[in-house]
Structure 1
């Protein structure tokens, strides 16, 4: 089967469908309208990207490529939309953990759960939860994650393989590490080091 890019180039697939197929996210015309509106607003440097995105593009040698910069921004916006849709509300989190909404707010205040604001809502990235509850031992390390981290950074930090966390000969994510560990002081310390390093690098 031809790739989405090839079918788009030949007019067999419209842009929205191509992006939907490549990203797996159900994007619509209104979403792209917001992106178009956002792209019309340039910062003084002429590149409306976060410092993190600019750093990544600079490292790859693509920072002067306007198409690559736009693609990076669109990709970030799509991933953010997907995260907003998949995150849990305070009420959802309370139901998932079998506690009151007051208890969730208390945990957000003490940092054992992490949330971001979207509109008027506080949303909790889904990586903090399993299908039936919370990720084991996560409350011991989440207070190390700064509240001003980008939500995508937090989600990626928890779900992407970390070189220093190795199980059965391969790197695993923080969530996989904590789920498969006994929660010993040494195992928790390894995760704490990963989070502390990520926070330091994002500062």
Structure 2
């Protein structure tokens, strides 16, 4: 794949520029690709079962994660925009970031607030109901992609009209906040 092709794929797939993607790289924790290497016995077992090793898997996961972080940052609100949306001053936004009732991501030495936590439609403005209680219940060292994944992925225990919905959709529908808190409490955060 030529460099131009890669840049175009990034723009089309993630709706961010290559520069934004590169800047998102700075938010990733240091991870050694060999940290999860299999023991020789386990590797032999997989080889015997004809499971091939994918040398490019780590690179794909890294690029996918970078794209998601870049998109979160690229679509996020500034502190001033959040203050206006919530009808408060920027000092209150900083307080809420500090007490984790607003979700913020560091970006270039400052903070941005992922848009997915807010309503900004006719008749609905502000943070999605209940998130001010859910966000502090999440592990404070959770990666931004994991936070977004938890908030947007359908959860088996959250059902509307017989189908599983995400915590955000559950809260938007008026669902009980305590149920989202219990889902967060039992979530397997080991892979964060």
TM-score (norm. length: structure 1): 0.70
1:117-169 alpha-carbon deviations (Å, 9 max, x no partner): 12211122222111121101221222202221101111121112111100001
| Residues 125 and 151 in structure 1, CA contact (< 8 A), matched pair in contact too | no
CA distance in 1, matches of 2:91, 2:190: 33
Unaligned runs of 5+ in 2: 37-49
Residue aligned with 2:111, SS: strand
- What is the alpha-carbon root mean square deviation over aligned residues? 3.2
- Within the candidate set 99, 108, 118, 2:107 is matched to 118
| Residues 165 and 172 in structure 1, CA contact (< 8 A), matched pair in contact too | yes
Unaligned runs of 5+ in 1: 1-7, 48-60
Residue aligned with 1:166, SS: strand
| Residues 16 and 70 in structure 2, CA contact (< 8 A), matched pair in contact too | no
Match of 1:18 in 2: 9
Residue aligned with 2:164, SS: strand
TM-score (norm. length: structure 2): 0.74
User: In 2 relative to 1, CA 115–63 (structure 1 residues): closer, same or farther, beyond 3 Å?
Assistant: farther
Q: Where do 1:105-144 residues align within 5 Å?
A: 105-131=94-120, 132-144=125-137
| Residues 162 and 171 in structure 1, CA contact (< 8 A), matched pair in contact too | yes
